[in-house]
Structure 1
Amino acid sequence: MTFSNREFRSVAVLGMGTMGAGIVHVLAASGREVVALEADEARSRYGMDALTRFLDEGVKRGKTTPEARAQVLARVRTTTSVAALTGVDLVIEAISEDIEVKKSVLTAVAAVVDADTPICTNTSALSVTELAAALPHPQRVAGLHFFNPAPLMRTVEIIAALQSSQELIERMETFVDSLHDKVAVVVKDRPGFLINALLLPYLNDVIAEYDDELATAEDIDLALQLGLGYKTGPLAMLDMIGLDVHLRATEAAHQATGDARYAPPPLLRQMVAAGQLGTKSGNGFRNSDTITSKDS
């Protein structure tokens, strides 16, 4: 397949959760028109509210201007209709980490966009090759993995599925380079890709250490921030990512590899079952209401 010379001026983002809203922000700030698809109006409003709060905080901190804030919001249009994506230059999927749900939504989107429109998934651990196999023209499918929060994290993994054309990968590299302060890293389609293949076991180990009462959540984060030079402590990072998101990612990597390092710690499962999901639920590891499994 030869792709058109379109410059990806209009981009569809599927999903307006925390990650989706962040990707919308990045794209709109780069001057692109964005069509954000959600299942219903309530979820669209949630995403737009999150985007607006992030922009407002940027204005407050002097990181952006009121004029730039207004321009970003003006470039974003939300919809609940797949048909509204007709004619977009690029699709980026950022919905639930459930491969069957992703296949269903992407199949519907593939039916309305042009045959040479690249379709990218922001999955953090699922097989891009399997997703591509479920879609027509799989050579136009790749992974485009942003990290949370997308407006601040610089790395974007470009995942080459077995079917991805070399032309597509090169065009995605050019696209990422056109985004403000983003750096592309091309990786193979493996469970966890590059960063999460290393990060998921690390976060699981930290959860186990917290559960063993090695130190308080605050002290664990402080020690690893200062000792390793990380900007964010691992437990605060988990709260920001969402414990349910981390659980799904570890489950997918563990199922795909059988590697015990990816097996979700018991406390992680318990907290998700209890609705303690981190920042989005208002409680998580850095919340005083959280208890260890040793206490239960």
Structure 2
Amino acid sequence: MNGTNRVGVVGCGLMGSGIAEICARKGLDVVVAVSSARSEERGRRRVDRSLERAVSKGGITPAERDEALGRISYTTDLGGLSGGQFVIEAITEDESAKLDLFSRLDKAVENPDAVFTTNTSSLPVMKLARVMSRPEQVVGTHFFSPVPAMPLVEVTRSLLTSAESAERVETFLTTTLGKDVVRSPDRAGFVVNALLVPYLLSAMRMAESGFASPEDIDRGMTQGCAHPVGPLRLSDLIGLDTLEAVAGGLYAEFKEPLFAAPPLLSRMVEGGLLGKKSGRGFYRYD
């Protein structure tokens, strides 16, 4: 994997597959590192389905779909990412897993100029940077789901991030990928989740207490406040396990009660009711 037009992505879940797709659609060669053959199969299906939807909506042509698919390759060896200019981490929102991954990436990616980015939505970038021998080359890049449709990326510099690394990442996001960027200080939750998560947790507490049904809560916000989707359906789309992890990160940093996950959220996650991706959350999905 060599050249400035090549990117590595670690993880091929909802976020990783979306990031790989938009990079490929912009003409970049993408190597996706996955944990297993099963992860690769599921990731391929996600990318295939997303590109098929883009074709059906007229966003791209069948030829462009095939070209994008041809630019994405998969590997279970982190060494396959070596040589790329950017390595984008997009694995599960789990601190220990991310720390372990960044420690291994430091050894596996030999290119001394590579910039490493993390798609964390709640963890301080500094924590991840500190396990590497080149913390100045670690930048936070929080994409939003679905990645091909959502224009925003939050960019976060730790106290150790170099200005050059941050500038390279912002140029890549805006010029190459066509994304909009907002800058955030290196605080848990950054800008968007620090505002969004308390709102979603408040809606869960309202449903948990019996104050209102999930349907009425969502209808109130969509029809009364012109939100495109209600808070509980949005929570299902994000993934309740992801929200619990983000809330935990916010609470650990700020110790504010509004960031604490309500018992209902914890019980739903324990029961595997994770939202749309599991078929059931606050709503049922076919």
TM-score, normalised via structure 1 length: 0.91
Q: Indicate which of 200, 203, 217 corresponds to 2:200.
A: 203
1:59 matched residue in structure 2 = 55
Match of 2:148 in 1: 151
Identity of aligned residues (%): 37
- 8 Å contact from structure 1 (residues 26, 179) kept in 2: no
1:183 is the counterpart of 2:197: no
The 8 Å contact of residues 276 and 284 in structure 2, kept in 1 or not, is answered as no
**Residue type of the partner of 1:81?**
D
TM-score (norm 2): 0.94
Q: Which residue of 1 aligns with 2:99?
A: 103
Task: Please say if residues 208 and 264 of structure 2, whose CA atoms lie closer than 8 Å, have aligned partners that are also in contact.
Answer: yes
Q: Does 1:265 align with 2:262?
A: yes
**Can you list the C-alpha shifts for 1:202-243, whole angstroms capped at 9, x where unaligned?**
110011112223333233223212333322222221111110
Matches of 1:251 and 1:35, distance apart in 2: 31
- Partner residue of 1:294? none
Count how many residue pairs are aligned between Structure 1 and Structure 2: 284
Alignment partner, residue 46 of structure 1 = 42
TM-superposed deviation, 1:159: 0.5
1:14-58 deviations in whole A, cap 9, x for unaligned? Answer: 111111111111111111111111110101111110111111122
Q: Decide whether the 8 Å contact of 2:54 with 2:60 is kept in 1.
A: yes
The answer to whether the aligner puts 1:25 opposite 2:25 as a matched pair is: no
Distance 1:65 1:233, change over 3 A: farther
Letter in 1 for 2:119: N
Q: Tell me which amino acid in the other structure corresponds to 1:92.
A: I
Distance 1:18 1:234 in 2: 20
Q: CA RMSD in A?
A: 1.7
Moved segments of 4+, more than 4 Å: none
Residues 39-48 or 225-234, more deviating: 225-234
Secondary structure, aligned partner of 1:120: strand
1:133 aligned onto 2:126? no
Q: Does the residue aligned with 2:139 lie in a helix, a strand or coil? A: strand
Displacement of 1:146 in angstroms is 0.1
